[in-house]
Structures are given as structure tokens and as C-alpha cells.
A = this chain, B = another copy of it.
Amino acid sequence: MVTLKQLAKELNVSISTVSKALNNSEEIGEETVRRVKELAELYNYRPNKVALSLKNNKTKTIGVIIPNILNRFLAKVLFGIEREAAEHGYNIITCISNESLQKEKDSLQLLGNGSVDGFILSVAEESQINNEVEHFKNTIKQGLPIVMFDRVAHDVLCDKVIVDDFDATYNATKSLIEEGRGRIVFISNIDDISVGKLRERGYNKAILETGRLEPLVLKVKKKDDHPKKIKSFFKKNNSIDGIIAADSSSGIIALNTAVNFGLKVPKDISVIAFASKSDSNHTLPKLTTIRQHAKIIGAHAAQVLISRMQNTLTEEDVKTKIVKTSLVKNKSTL
């Protein structure tokens, strides 16, 4: 990489002259500016990012800590963050906590040493289970703002972007009840995390509100053979006529299993799942989905963090933004 020093030497002027010329300072003579810019162009000069960061005490970089990049929703949020960040001239450094508290702490520490100006993160499963939040608080105390999305720690005072999980599941369940379904099961493989619990509560509320239906819940664990578990559940409960799935995988498997049992979808049974558009293509009939608008969540988180870092937000007014889901009806419901 060419430096100002090298340009200055070659042009027989001082470093500061070159710097000013390139930054269109009024101070420098027209002719000099021309010469400097020409040579800079020739050598494809770019200001060294690291030097700028040191000088300005700003890296123009956002640290993103994602629990699991293989989760489609989280990957999509990352996509939204990256795009929004890029538009504002920010880069993102990505760390994957892999649902581990330790890795989450490490990432915060590691990037908190000047590598980034702030964080966007979704809390790791282990951290949520242990209700561990000190590391977040420390980071904020250090002066690095955090924006949490989806899985948030309510005890930490910071900006948040969340989904209306409770309402969405409540409404979806209600819509099945209104279809006349009487034996609706809630299937989830995300029972351990905050949003999973919220979704279950939304389901429960809708069911109990009827005064006649009973909640029926199937929790699938990471280590289980998911198709097998769901299949045997169907066998034991053969009157099921409705499914609310807290995650896309459970939804897809449940629908396929139902079809395999000879049930007509949606005549005999309706299925709704938290899932993306492409997921809905992976079942026949197409899956009715609750869409979380992951990209919008990501974009929003990035916007809030960038405002925060540029101090256009006042210290105290941390905000929680709720991004509403949409129920997209396809052919797996009446």
C-alpha cells in the first residue's frame, strides 16, 4: 500500500501538503492539488484504515455476535445488518457464539479492545439459561453500545429489536381455533430460549381462553431424532387437527409426517410455523408461515446502533422496537 509519505517524497512536498490536497483543503494551490491527485490516482492510494481508526478513535466497524449462523432466521438478520451497515460505510466483524456463554464473553472482550465501535447481538442459549448478563453490562459501562435483537436480556439497559412472538403465536393459534380445530398441538425445538417460551405462552393463552381446549405441547431436543420423535407423537395422539410450530424445521417435519400418515392437509389438519418463504416451498401443500421479517430486524438494529454510536441519541432513552410478524396464509391452512 502506498502511503502519504511515499507520495510526498516523490512529489517533493511535505506529508501534510499531500494530506490536505487529497482532502480538498482550501489551503493548497490548485496546481499542487492536481499533481498530488494525479499521483495518488496512479498509485491507487487509499488512506490506511487502521491509521484512521487510531487517529479518530473510531473504527467504523460493528461487532456482530450471532449464536448460530446455520439458523436461517439469524443468518437473514445478519444479512440485513450487513447491508444496512455497508450503506452507512460500516464494516461488520462477525463472531459466532455457538450458543456458548464463554464464547460470547470472549468475543465481547476480544472485540471490545478497540476493534469495534459497538455491538449487535442475539443472546446465546447458554447465557439465557444461566441468566448471565454481567458481561453485557461491563461492555456497556466501557462505553461500547449494544443493540440486542430477538433473544434479548431484559435486565440489561440497552436498545433492543424484537418480534411480537407472544401476539403472533396467540393470533396464529386463534386462527386455527376459528377454523374449527379442536386438538391443536404446539411443537418446538427452541424451548430453552426466550422467544421459544414467549411463543408457547401465546399458544397457551389462546387455547385456555376458549375454556374448553387443552394445551398439548411437544418439545423436541437438539439431540433427538426429530422426524422420529414427531412421528411417534402423532401415533400416540391421532386426533390432532392443528399444529403450531415454533420453528421452521418442526413445522416442515410435522407437515410431511401428517401427509405420510394419510392425513389431508388442510382438510384434516392445519399447520402453521414460524418460517421463511423458502421454507414454505419445501412442503406440499405450501406451508402457512409466520414471517419474522428478519432482514428488517437486522436493518433496524444496525440503524439504531449507528445512531447511538454517532451520539444522535441521548444517553438515556433506550428503545425497544417491536417488528411485527405477518401471518402468510398458504395451503396448509383452511
* Contact residues on A (Cβ < 8 Å of other chain), bracket: 35 or more
- In the complex, whether A281 has a CB less than 8 A from a CB of chain B is yes
Contact status A82-B70, CB under 8 Å: no
Contact status B259-A227, CB under 8 Å: no
Taking the nearest CB of chain B, how far is it from the CB of A332, in angstroms? Answer: 13
By a CB distance below 8 angstroms, the chain B residues around A278 are: 70, 249
- In the complex, whether A166 has a CB less than 8 A from a CB of chain B is no
Contact status B282-A282, CB under 8 Å: yes
Binds B, one of A48-56, A157-165, A179-187: A48-56
Which one, B114, B257, B260, contacts A51 given CB within 8 A? B114
Closest to A47 in B: B113
This chain's copy number in the assembly: 2
- In the complex, whether A196 has a CB less than 8 A from a CB of chain B is no
Contact status B46-A54, CB under 8 Å: no
- Given the known interface contacts A50-B50, A227-B284, A256-B282, the answer about A114 and B249 at a Cβ–Cβ threshold of 8 Å is no
By a CB distance below 8 angstroms, the chain B residues around A82 are: 69, 94-96
Expressed in whole angstroms, the Cα–Cα distance for A43 and B54 within the complex equals 21
- In the complex, whether A78 has a CB less than 8 A from a CB of chain B is yes
Expressed in whole angstroms, the Cα–Cα distance for A1 and B116 within the complex equals 12
- Given the known interface contacts A48-B114, A50-B53, A278-B249, the answer about A86 and B95 at a Cβ–Cβ threshold of 8 Å is yes
- In the complex, whether A288 has a CB less than 8 A from a CB of chain B is no
Contact status B94-A94, CB under 8 Å: yes
A-B contact pairs, 14 of them (CB 8 A): A1-B114, A46-B109, A49-B113, A49-B114, A50-B54, A70-B79, A79-B96, A82-B94, A83-B98, A92-B94, A93-B93, A93-B94, A226-B281, A259-B259
